[in-house]
Amino acid sequence: MSSRDGNETDVTATDDAATTAGERAPGSLPAGRLPRRVLIANRGEIAVRIARTCRSMGIGVVAVHSDADADAWHVRAADQAVHLPGTAPADTYLRSDLLLDAAVRTGADALHPGFGFLAEHAGFAQAVIDAGLIWVGPSPASIAAMGDKLEAKRRVTAAGVPLLPGVTPPPDADDATLRSLAAEVGFPLIVKAAAGGGGKGMRVVEDADALPGALAAARREAAGAFGDDRVFLERFVARPRHVEVQVFGDDHGGLVHLFERECSIQRRHQKVVEETPSPGLDAAVRDALHGAALDAVRPLGYQGAGTVEFVADEALLARRRSGEDIDPRRTFAFLEVNTRLQVEHPVTEEVVRIRDAATGSLDRLDLVRLQLLVAGGAPLPFAQPDIVRTGHAIEVRLYAEDPTTGYLPATGRLHAFAPSTGDGIRWDCGVRAGDEVTPYYDPMLAKAIAWAPTRSEAAARLSGALDTTALLGVTTNHQLLVDVLRDPAFLAGDTTTGFLAERFPDGVARPDPDRGDPAPDALDVAAALAAIHAAYRHLAARPVLGSLPLGFVNAASFTVQFAYDPLGAEAGAEAAAEPGGAVPQRTVRLTAERDGRVAVQVLTGVPAGFVDAPGEVVAGWTATLYAVTEDHLDVALDGHRRAVAVSRAPGGLVQLAGPDGRSTLVELPRFPVATAQAAAGATLAPMPGAVVSVAVTVGDTVAAGAVLVTVEAMKMEHRITAPVAGTVGEVRVGVGQQVLAGEVLVVVDDPDASTT
């Protein structure tokens, strides 16, 4: 067959079981013996997660790393690591020769591919075995049989598993032939790559006229991604659910399912939210689905972890839920088998318990541990009747990407990352605070998982944990995940593959009181808390006289002032509600009172650095401080006490995470420019950022409020306008230039200003 990197392999799929029950493949261990040292041929959170289980079992861990990952978390999680020169995946993590050499050099006797490209590469699996190492995964024959979608469909058809109508057009088919084949399938249909995955080589076609172009595009994409341009046509189901079943087998004939997961909430055909049980299936459909999954892999003599994926017709499921008598097996159809551990495997681990036959106790499941046991030749330590599912689990994938720009990946330094914990909360992370997020690899940073007795409780736990997690320095889908988990449609179980396009078409939530959006004064509270933390943090850091009151001088206490520009989802929501879309800067004034409390005022319209300048008071409280540290604040505003985590980063960035959710602000310099520069007509950068456009040149006549410069900060554009009408006297910046908060951008000469 042709492997995904274009190289030929000698792996041949057969109709017989890949391994006779009890018979060990070349390079495997005697039954029941564990590997001594495992090389993890992957990076990121899955490598960290595998290393954790290996350590718990007393198995040594070897990591590999590229130039960009020299100090990555997965490297620190291992006992030893081998450098793979370069940064591109093709030169490092996908170089099978380098990986095998690393295993030999470090004395590893087993290799775990994690998930991804090499985990489903039959040629690589065979090369690992031929090198005398243990391959922690299904047999090369199983991978080959299921990695080719056309071969997989042939096999599951023979096993009686439901399929969607579909055909495979010949490469040289003319338009008339294509139209005829498409008519057999019916419109709308989808073009899919035979050797593909991850959404590549896929095109939805609404009518016959669009078919030739879609086929050509899908073939080009498939050839580029997989080295194989074969495609096929399949009936397209509108608004389906994407459901899958976790299966596990051993070399002794043991085969079980570990229930289903729903993974319908996706962007670009890639999963974002996963959960189990599926909220859309009734008991009969669920049982039929589990049985079909086992039927699909049983003829292979399947060994190791695998996932059988299905598309479920939500329209038919809804009719069944309303009481209509529809055959359960009509409601779903086979998609593919992923012959590896899935990204979403933690939700299965969180709900599945194994009943101990002797004691009756329910033990937790670790799928990586099970992989290592089975790879060592051991039989599955339980049978289907021993498997129990309890409660509900939901997982979300935290990506370094911007949902508002079509989910484009983001890069940068992760200045703050403090995952919030609590009952039923689990994090599988691949990064820590201080790590650099590079453009070379998949942008997934971590997975957050919540378990609870019910689905609604799991969603609440997970959204709460996300909302109180500090995350600063890289644009992520963090807020989108919180909004999804609180969305009324999600909570009602209305989750299909069209969910994000229908509910969040622009990548952000629209204000919805039913979802628990921030209160109107959330920004005022955040600015007040940030100012209190900054003031008392500075006070506590004094080398002498640190016990003096805030703002103390010999005569009396004076007002301490801080200014902030809001960023993030909260600012975006407010901007959308205001004419012009501009979010006003918040100025916070703190004045110590004789009883030790602090008077707090929040104002708008005050120039930064001018303590006595007038402004509009928009909020005010009396604050009582209980505790303050570098990253924590415990304070009451008019008796309403809050404990919040505080994170700070270069450029004045500050983030608060607490009971009000997360707010991200930019603390402006207290004295942003020299007095001479702060004269009327000088426009200042409100925060650190990059100049994306300059609308004026020296000599231009502008009206008050005219746009002069646009600065981008934290993926948001901020328009800088003329403070007065006049003539542009200076333009101090250009497109692409990085600017600091308070830096002068443009000076507008006011003809009415005094020149004396």
pLDDT confidence tier of residue 118, bands split at 50, 70 and 90: very high
pLDDT confidence tier of residue 553, bands split at 50, 70 and 90: very low
The identity of residue 142, as a single letter, is S
State how beta strands 110-112 and 412-413 pair. Answer: unpaired
What is this structure's pTM? 0.80
Beta bridge partners of 477: none
Whole-Å CA distances, 236 to 266, 320, 455, 647: 16, 21, 29, 47
Rounded to whole angstroms, the Cα distance separating 472 from 664 reads 8
Per-residue pLDDT for 557 more than 70?
no
CATH 3.30.700-classified regions of the chain: 522-667
Average per-residue pLDDT for the chain: 86
Tell me the pLDDT tens digit for each residue of 387-404: 999 999 999 999 999 998
Tell me the pLDDT tens digit for each residue of 180-238: 888 888 889 988 888 766 667 788 898 888 888 888 888 888 887 778 888 888 888 88
CATH 3.30.470.20-classified regions of the chain: 1-24+140-160+241-390, 392-517
**Angle formed by the axes of helices 283-297 and 314-321, nearest 10°:** 140
**Tokens of residue 341, six digits:** 């551990």
CA-angle at 688, arms to 474 and 521, nearest 5°: 75
Rounded to whole angstroms, the Cα distance separating 436 from 69 reads 9
CATH 3.30.1490.20-classified regions of the chain: 165-235
Which CATH code of 3.20.20.80, 1.10.3720.10, 3.40.50.20, 3.30.70.1560 fits the domain covering 37-139? 3.40.50.20
Is the distance from CB of 340 to CB of 115 less than 8 angstroms? yes
Which CATH code of 3.40.50.300, 1.10.760.10, 3.20.20.70, 2.40.50.100 fits the domain covering 682-749? 2.40.50.100
Residue 464, C-beta contacts closer than 8 angstroms, at least 6 positions apart: 420, 422
Tell me the pLDDT tens digit for each residue of 27-52: 344 456 799 999 999 999 999 999 99
Per-residue pLDDT for 713 more than 70?
no
pLDDT at 30: 44
Beta bridge partners of 276: 393
Tell me the pLDDT tens digit for each residue of 484-537: 999 999 999 999 999 999 999 998 877 665 655 556 688 899 999 999 999 988
Mean local confidence (pLDDT), 327-344: 95
Tell me if the bond preceding 212 is cis, omega within 30° of 0: no
Tell me the pLDDT tens digit for each residue of 77-99: 999 999 999 999 999 999 999 99
CATH of domain 1-24+140-160+241-390: 3.30.470.20
Per-residue pLDDT for 26 more than 50?
no
Per-residue pLDDT for 669 more than 70?
yes
Burial class (CB in 10 A: 0-12, 13-18, 19+), 554: exposed
% of residues, the chain, pLDDT over 90? 58
Q: For the chain, give the longest Cα–Cα distance.
A: 98
Neighbours of 513 (CB within 10 A): 6
CA nearest 445: which of 404, 478, 470, 468?
478
Tell me the pLDDT tens digit for each residue of 140-179: 999 999 988 788 888 999 999 999 888 888 877 777 887 8
Is the distance from CB of 389 to CB of 352 less than 8 angstroms? yes
CA nearest 538: which of 517, 505, 521, 561?
561
Which homologous superfamily is 392-517 in?
Answer: ATP-grasp fold, B domain (3.30.470.20)
Residue 354, C-beta contacts closer than 8 angstroms, at least 6 positions apart: 362, 363, 364, 365, 381, 382, 386, 387, 388
Mean local confidence (pLDDT), 639-647: 93
Rounded to whole angstroms, the Cα distance separating 42 from 118 reads 9
Element (H, E) at 461: helix 455-467
Q: How far is C-alpha 508 from the geometric centre of its chain's CA atoms?
A: 15
Is the distance from CB of 313 to CB of 335 less than 8 angstroms? no
pLDDT at 92: 96
CATH of domain 522-667: 3.30.700
Strand locations in 20-59 (E): 37-40
Element (H, E) at 640: strand 640-649
Tell me the pLDDT tens digit for each residue of 406-450: 999 998 899 999 999 999 999 999 999 999 999 999 999 999 999
Mean local confidence (pLDDT), 240-259: 97
Per-residue pLDDT for 662 more than 50?
yes
pLDDT at 427: 98
% of residues, the chain, pLDDT over 70? 85
pLDDT at 610: 66
pLDDT at 5: 32
Per-residue pLDDT for 9 more than 70?
no
pLDDT confidence tier of residue 750, bands split at 50, 70 and 90: confident
pLDDT confidence tier of residue 715, bands split at 50, 70 and 90: low
pLDDT confidence tier of residue 571, bands split at 50, 70 and 90: very low
Strand locations in 114-187 (E): 134-135, 166-167
Sign for the pseudo-dihedral over CA of 313, 221, 13, 303: negative
pLDDT confidence tier of residue 577, bands split at 50, 70 and 90: very low
Rounded to whole angstroms, the Cα distance separating 317 from 314 reads 5
pLDDT confidence tier of residue 690, bands split at 50, 70 and 90: confident
Tell me the pLDDT tens digit for each residue of 344-367: 999 999 999 999 988 889 999 999
pLDDT at 174: 79
Per-residue pLDDT for 113 more than 90?
yes
Per-residue pLDDT for 462 more than 80?
yes
Per-residue pLDDT for 269 more than 60?
yes
CATH 2.40.50.100-classified regions of the chain: 682-749
Which architecture characterizes domain 165-235 according to CATH? 2-Layer Sandwich (3.30)
